[in-house]
Amino acid sequence: MNENWIAPSILSANFAKLGEEVDNVLKAGADVVHFDVMDNHFVPNLTIGPLVCEALRKHGVTAPIDVHLMIEPVDRIIPDFAKAGASYITFHPEASVHVDRTLQLIHDCGCKAGLVFNPSTPLHYLDYVMDKIDMILLMSVNPGFGGQSFIPSALPKLREVRKRIDDSGLDIRLEIDGGVKVDNIRDIKAAGADTFVAGSAIFGQPDYKAVIDAMRAEIAKAE
């Protein structure tokens, strides 16, 4: 697997032929399937749940599935996603009253765990749980919809989290989500991200491989 992960968000895929879309984007060089779960409560949109995750596994998808929960509460549905084949499960700390317990629950279910930070969410939620985290996801848009513009304050925030991860010496992935395109991914890499969610930038183009190759070329320029 590549060190820098391209994680297409299937939110922008054609849901009428989702299995085929996921096959195609993986064949085009994607590393991870980013799976956005919305509940019309924590965020103002409604998407997909464990049944669809399970359907992708049954379809034959073997790549890691990165489940981004934008739902509240989170604990009840975590075992369902684990059973459905999730690899990573990330959640927003505001959506869990007991963040440490939720991280533990995700691990107990056999998945990797992560915390997601909205653009305005402070990083102090990391303070006492770094050793229980496999991934930190910074939102560079307010969650709920694909196709929004990258919020520039995510760049200094990425640099801050990169420092925290490096200082900790722990093996934690740093993911960015929202408005990631070929023309800003180099700066995002330079700020410290190693996992890049992109929905509309990939699924909005006819040639997924061309976009993913162009993203990798830009990432390489930052290294």
Pick the binder of Zn ion from 32, 35, 38, 68 (CB under 5 A). Answer: 68
Q: Does 8 bind ligand DX5 (CB under 6 A)?
A: no
Cis-peptide into 50, omega within 30 deg: no
Which is nearest to 8 in space by CA: 37, 31, 42? 31
Q: Indicate whether 177 belongs to the interface with Zn ion (CB under 5 A).
A: yes
Is 201 a binding residue for ligand DX5 by CB under 6 A? The answer is: yes
**Nearest alpha-carbon partner for 46 in 143, 184, 160, 173:** 143
**Residue 36 annotated as catalytic:** yes
Q: Cβ(91)–Cβ(74) under 8 Å?
A: yes
Which of the choices ligand DX5, Zn ion, none does residue 189 contact, using the CB cut-off of 5 to 8 A by kind? none
User: DSSP for 71-112?
Assistant: -SS-GGGHHHHHHTT-SEEEE-GGG-S-HHHHHHHHHHTT-E
| Residue 119 within binding range of ligand DX5, rule CB under 6 A | no
The listed partner (Zn ion, ligand DX5, none) that binds 200, CB under 5 to 8 Å by sort, is ligand DX5
Query: Which of 134, 177, 194, 218 forms a contact with ligand DX5 (CB under 6 A)?
Result: 177
- Nearest approach in angstroms of CB 163 to ligand DX5 is 24
Question: At a CB cut-off of 8 Å and minimum separation 6, what does 101 contact?
Answer: 75
Residue 156 · residue 117 · CB < 8 Å: no
187 a catalytic residue: no
Binding partner of residue 138 among Zn ion, ligand DX5, none, CB under 5 to 8 Å per kind? Answer: none
Among residues 31, 36, 66, 194, which one is catalytic?
36
Reduced to 3 states (helix: H, G, I; strand: E, B; else coil), residue 170 is: coil
Q: Does 21 bind Zn ion (CB under 5 A)?
A: no
**Measured distance CA(167)–CA(164) in Å, rounded:** 5
In terms of C-beta density within 10 A (0-12 exposed, 13-18 middle, 19 or more buried), how is residue 75 classed?
Answer: middle
Residue range at the interface with ligand DX5 (CB under 6 A); choices 105-113, 118-126, 157-165, 191-199: 191-199
Stretch that binds ligand DX5, among 4-12, 72-80, 97-105, 185-193 (CB under 6 A): 4-12
148 binds, options ligand DX5, Zn ion, none, Cβ within 5 to 8 A by partner type? ligand DX5
| Catalytic site positions | 36, 177
Residues that bind Zn ion (CB under 5 A): 36, 68, 177
Residues that bind ligand DX5 (CB under 6 A): 9, 11-12, 34, 36, 68, 141, 143-144, 146-148, 177-180, 197-201
